[in-house]
Chains A and B, each alone.
Chain A
Amino acid sequence: MTNKILVVEDDNFLINAYRLKFENSNFEVRIAEDGEKAMESLKNFTPDIILLDLIMPVMDGFAVLSALKADPKYKLIPVIVTSNLSQNEDIAKAVDMGADGYIIKSDTTIKAIVDKILSLLNKQV
């Protein structure tokens, strides 16, 4: 079974890393470079999980999170926030808004992220 993942990330290098790693792990990967594009892509793509960056142009991660959680169609899709913001209030804010996890990118290997996502999805199954 192929896992579907929506990666919302504006940094190209990171996008490449994500794509490579997740595809190697048998994911169907959809990329959105900002919040608006993420909302747009959700219209014809229903992911099993969303990886969400916070600081992005046009529409930031918090706005996406609140839109997702406000919409009954999307609110059950687990969202993992991946950000380099590491202040407690940012983490708390994301968790309060319904994020299922919070990953500080610079402190985590890409492998650890993939493993975490896999274990999360396995749990759900």
Chain B
Amino acid sequence: MTEQVAGSSPRRRYHFHVPGVLYVLVTLFLAVGAINSQNNLLFLALGLAIGGLLVSGVLSGSSLMSADLVREPTLSAELATPTALRYRVAHRGRVIPAYGIAIAEMRSAGSNWAEFAESPRAFVVGIEPRRSAPAEATIMPRRRGVMRVDEVRMWTTLPFGLTRKSSTFTLPMVVTVLPPDVPIRAGLFRRVAARAMMGAESSRATGMSEEFFGLREYVAGDATRSIAWKRSARIGELVVRQTASPSPRRLWVVLRLDGRAKPSANELAIAAAAGLLRRARAEGLAVGLAVPVLGLTFAPSQSPAHLRRLLDELALVETPKAGAAEVAGDAAGRGGACVVVHPGEADRSIGPNHAVHIDATKTNEVFEADERSLRILAVITGASA
């Protein structure tokens, strides 16, 4: 169950609205015209105009004065992938439904969404009295990182567009924009993961695999099948043979970032690293991440939380300045497969000897070429989507 974000009491106000001013001018014209000409139809029209003004005020007021907005949590978003910011509008009114409620994120000191996306907008066609309705504003983040949203404005111009009434709510929320989920080509992944599949190293714990772990004294209850007869005969007491536990298949992803490379090349490398991590986790591999230039090393693990942590780290990775010193990352690649992702020409000095090197800028070799991937890659490389 997700927790909704409710803010403090909203700030309500009226806004200057051009159609409303025009309407008032037309009403004034009708009033002057009716008085000047004593044309009774114009008096009726004046009455209709004033009635419209009254109804507009009452309806828009009742719509908004009794409407509350809560934010529904959005835990993460992905770069260049449509993401919904979700809200729920509750209408506490008892009689008149609320109509045409627009919702938009506001720029404030506590928000930075404008760096990530165009103005997010949602719209609710109508809500019956004492009901609530969901609303969502779809954004397409154009960069990774931590996106903060803070104030949300809800307004309506209904019924006649004469008055614009708004309520502003403070509903802070943080959304981590992760690297995009661009699938890695199946052939490439098979090549990368081949070593991990073979199992390069046995486990340091006893278990149920076929691999020999060691000998120990026989204790009652041990299976007679497990007794090492030759060794027992040699030392004169019963010893049993222990096997090692199955070794987890591991993949190290080493991300090389280069300050001299184009920003888009580094972004492609990050996207490729994220793709490899996601794919490997989906295949049941334990995944580890190393970013030598930043000195980050995360040992492999199979847990979903670990993957999320790695993706969060990738979301926060900043491109290093040119000439930043590479940190060797000795642990990376030890025990398991290793892939080094480069933002350009491969530097084979990084990573262990058995590591597979990938140039992320060769997108047609690295990423699947489906429509969605191409669209995301176009956003990353700055080409028109």
Chain A partners chain B:
no
